[in-house]
Amino acid sequence: MGQIAGRLGADVPNISRHLSLLRKVNGVGDRKEGLNTFNRLLAPQAAQYLQCVEGKTKRRLEEKASEVVGAEADSHGQEKPVDLSVGCPGREQLALEIFPKSLS
């Protein structure tokens, strides 16, 4: 996971959570060799779907940048999430929300 995290510029716990979710839906498989775990996409179309989600999420984040930067807490002091949900051909809408404070 360290190699994946390094290439994506993400932290290992975040990558671990994502891989766990993908394993649950049979999107990723793994094999262990000693202390190493090798992950692989199980469905060829998974790579295309992930590329679609990545591109659309980047565009949605650009569109919503002012909401993310100017986010304020609600009347109870709770941070309001910014909706970045996207849809890709042949798949259901992917619900994605971010909490701006978690980005800082």
Architecture of domain 1-42: Orthogonal Bundle (1.10)
| pLDDT per position as a tens digit, 1-32 | 788 878 777 788 888 888 887 887 777 888 99
**Chain region(s) in the chain for CATH 1.10.10.10:** 1-42
Separation CA 66–CA 75 (nearest Å): 20
| pLDDT per position as a tens digit, 28-64 | 888 999 998 888 888 777 777 778 888 888 888 788 7
Burial class (CB in 10 A: 0-12, 13-18, 19+), 70: exposed
User: Which 3 state secondary structure label does DSSP give 81?
Assistant: coil
The predicted structure's pLDDT at residue 34: 93
Q: Which has the closest alpha carbon to 100: 54, 78, 55?
A: 78
The percentage of the chain sitting over the pLDDT mark of 90, rounded to a whole number, equals 3
